[in-house]
Amino acid sequence: MRSRFVVSAVLAIAVVSTLASVGRADAADTGGENTYANARASGGQLSVQAGEIRWTPPEHSSWATSAQPDPPAGEKPNPNQPYGCTYTADPQASQTLGAGGPTPGQWIIPTCAGPGVIDPMPPFWVTGAKHAAVTVQVAPVVVAEEAAKHLGLASPVIEMAPPDGDSQLVGVATWLWVNPATWHPVTASASAGAVTTTATATPMKVVWDMGDGSTITCGGPGTPYDPSAPKAKTNCSYTWSTAGTYAVTATVYWSVAWTAAGAAGGGTLGVQAGPVTAVTVHVVQSQAINTPGAGG
């Protein structure tokens, strides 16, 4: 059995983005971006990257030049200019440093390499922040877990010999089985963005609760009883020792695995119990009947 659905699990996160034009450091900053003392900037983009808010400077700005791993072609490295910078926003810095310029704004922490680096690099203030939507892709295993919820595992149909509508006998083995036609893998697929996962559940065992405090585990569906084969045997049966009325349940356990398309991933989601089926069973003591013989 196969089913498919779409997961609405691609998340939109509002993040700070798209500022105005870039500016040099203010007049008190004689070193400009090189020293970052009282430096301010506007423009660029803030986005969520791996749980952090990163600032991308406007194209062709000095801040963007600092983000390049090497100086522009044909130019000698500036001994006061760091290169290879990344810029991480620190939303908590305002609590200790206060605002560094017009608000709303963000303190930006540079992490750089190159000849002009000081450790640590001082933060600078970026103003004029706006909001934009950034798409964050859900992990494939999360999509697989959603697919597994839609496997539609069927309730087992309990069968017995003698039939469950008849009385069972104390001391006589009762054959137990579930419908063998349902003993096959089932699948369900889910999609989120470009990722599609498929969960596959394979039946592995049936756990029977016999209602008298005993449970038995059968490694398959059991063998249907065939009255035309009186010498047949089964590996799934139970013998009651006491007469009474018992609530018997059967639970199929499934091994669930998953694969992914559109992203790396795959593996196991463990063992999942399917729906429980219950029947009421009457167990009686067998009675011997003595028949007088001829001439008795």
Q: Establish if 293 belongs to a structural domain.
A: no
- Residue 162 and residue 102 share a domain: no
pLDDT tens sequence across 163-215: 766 788 999 999 999 999 989 999 999 988 788 999 999 999 999 999 999 99
- Pair 113, 164 in one domain: no
* 147 and 263 co-located in one domain: yes
Domain membership of residue 54 as a residue range: 10-135
Considering the domain architecture, whether residues 26 and 115 belong to the same structural domain is answered as yes
- Looking at residue 119, its pLDDT comes to 77
Give the residue from 118, 135, 152 where a domain finishes.
135
Question: Into how many domains does the chain fold?
Answer: 2
Let me know if residue 104 belongs to a domain.
yes
Q: Give the pLDDT confidence of 29-71 residue by residue, as tens digits.
A: 333 343 444 678 887 787 766 567 888 888 888 888 888 887 7
Q: Last residue of some domain: 104, 135, 166? A: 135
55 and 123 in a single domain? The answer is yes
pLDDT-derived band at 286, boundaries 50, 70, 90? confident
- What is the structure's pLDDT at 4? 52
| Domain edge (last residue) among 135, 158, 188 | 135
Tokens of 134: 């950034």
